[in-house]
Chains A and B, each alone.
Chain A
């Protein structure tokens, strides 16, 4: 009888507690592990996540890695024989991971601020106490970094929003927000890539194509890229 036989994983599956510098590692299903960095949502933490991604993506048992916002999802090709050992290796990699600065490209996205698609601009004004003109200025003057892609093909989560225009996600999402809508969701901003339900707050519109399945790579943005918004038109 082998060592692993009859040895069930203790539940709950959160295998480790979060301490000061320890990541939280949890299973989501049998073949996927989520590593969440301790501490705040800042670029140094994100850079350490990218370093961890680089270290883990070459493991032979790894099928895909999905860097998120200060976290990393590791998807395995199959259910591991020894989940606890795998979890220990992930923790070791985190401890070894130092910051990497991805040398990303800079992408400039022309935006029409305000206008018919900026249906939440007034709400952002109310929440921040700033004028619409001020919100638009603070938004396009920002220097943004793509921290992760996700939720839809090619959608980039952008870090670098001015805290003065922070705006929580909506409790009731817009049912049919257009592809190309420029949005604020909490401390993040982005450009929607699909038309559909969306809980972020719309402040403008961009024509630029951010995803093309026929291209390699299909997504225009990549983690580490910088984004500048160019105020092509302001309709207030």
Chain B
């Protein structure tokens, strides 16, 4: 068990998402930064899709009620165990009674806490992700509150050495596969979508201007503010399925990017779709920060996907070797 000592609203249990029910109106949910979730799980010896805690409101504190192994990935939030600072993207064994604290990150938005064995909440429709909107999944379909206790799955033999080890964060490891701007604006690659051509010359501004992520943004979607882009005459589309990454253009002319808790159906014109492999970066973008869309292609997206896959494979392959080496050293 772990016990939540301190939390803000909106921190939830998430896994990779709930698939197969969009046709019943059920959003997939799942971590906003899926890559951080996968790496965290791999570090503690889990399957990459085990349930974790997604922390997006800080500070966050929890107490371990038995010995276990934990990994902290995603946003660098000055993690401390009993006051001892941990490097980012780090896994280590902890003892019953120890307290883990996370402070507000300086740059990114969300931290992930993975536990060896995974969080043992009852799967609903094949997933342990919390559906806040539907009020099911995760812990009673709600966000975590102080005094909540979460069960952790069967204890695995701990392979992580006492001092722990870490992974190179993907922002560094994959830097050459993800475009970076000079002014700190997040570059998000997207492909023109269904109604793109209807925007005519207006569409140019979609790519050229820098958009600000407004305060009306959450796990469902990011609302962007900037100079509006409007259709010559409004269109109302028949309701159709949407997925995370779709960029819709409501009558206000300011885009909405659907995120992990994306609505399952929509009718607004779609100007573009963010490529899947860039969604984890968007999941780490903070309210108030700036983004720019970069026109991309399927071929480019495939290239970045292969790089992410190679990064994950490398972690999978290296971890057993690293554990053995560290174990051998500690026996010496």
Partner-B contacts on A (CB < 8 A): 4-9, 11-14, 24, 26-32, 34, 36, 41, 63-73, 75, 78-81, 83, 148-155, 157, 169, 186, 188, 193-194, 196, 211, 213-214, 217-219
Contact = CB atoms under 8 A, between A and B. Distances in A.
Contact of B297 (A11, A67, A154): A11
Query: Max chain B CB contacts within 10 Å: which of A41, A64, A69?
Result: A64
Nearest to A84: B298
B196 interface: yes
Given A4-B299, A80-B298, A152-B133, A68 B191 contact: no
Contacts of B266: 151
B232 interface: no
A88 B236 CA distance: 27
A113 to B, nearest CB: 25
Contact of B302 (A12, A71, A79, A194): A79
A30 B299 contact: no
Interface in B231-265: 236, 238-246, 263-265
A182 to B, nearest CB: 17
B243 A29 contact: yes
Contact of B239 (A7, A9, A14, A148): A148
Nearest to B246: A28
A67 to B, nearest CB: 6
A64 B246 CA distance: 16
14 contacts: A12-B196, A14-B192, A24-B194, A29-B273, A30-B275, A64-B19, A68-B238, A68-B265, A73-B22, A73-B241, A73-B242, A211-B134, A213-B136, A218-B24
Contacts, number: 177
Given A149-B23, A213-B136, A30 B298 contact: yes
A150 B273 CA distance: 20
A30 B276 contact: yes
A185 to B, nearest CB: 9
A86 to B, nearest CB: 10
B71 interface: no
Contact of B191 (A11, A63, A73): A11
Given A14-B197, A30-B298, A68-B265, 14 more contacts: A8-B300, A14-B196, A28-B194, A28-B245, A29-B191, A30-B277, A34-B241, A72-B241, A73-B243, A79-B302, A151-B263, A151-B265, A153-B133, A154-B24
B239 A157 contact: yes
A35 to B, nearest CB: 9
A213 B238 contact: no
Contacts of B263: 151
Query: Max chain B CB contacts within 10 Å: which of A14, A70, A81?
Result: A14
Contact of A32 (B24, B236, B243, B301): B243
Contact of B238 (A31, A70, A169): A70
A219 B196 CA distance: 34
Contact of A67 (B23, B192, B236, B245): B23
Contacts of A75: 22, 241, 243
Given A64-B19, A151-B239, A8 B25 contact: no
A63 B18 CA distance: 11
A71 B245 CA distance: 19
A189 B275 CA distance: 34
Contact of B124 (A31, A72, A213): A213
Contacts of A32: 241, 243, 246, 273
Nearest to A35: B240
Contact of B246 (A5, A29, A150, A218): A29
B125 interface: yes
Q: List 3 tightest A-B contacts by C-beta distance, closest first.
A: A66-B241, A150-B265, A73-B241
A63 B19 contact: yes
Contacts of A65: 23
B26 interface: yes
B221 to A, nearest CB: 13
A34 to B, nearest CB: 6
A44 to B, nearest CB: 15
B242 A28 contact: yes
Query: Max chain B CB contacts within 10 Å: which of A11, A13, A70, A154?
Result: A13
B47 interface: no
B9 interface: no
A64 B236 CA distance: 25
Contacts of B244: 29
Contact of A153 (B25, B243, B302): B25
B274 interface: yes
A148 B241 CA distance: 10
Given A83-B298, A149-B23, A194-B133, A73 B240 contact: yes
B20 interface: yes
A9 B275 contact: no
B24 A217 contact: yes
A218 B21 contact: yes
B301 A30 contact: yes
Query: Max chain A CB contacts within 10 Å: which of B193, B194, B241, B266?
Result: B241
Nearest to B190: A29
Contacts of A69: 238-240
A123 B53 CA distance: 46
B270 interface: yes
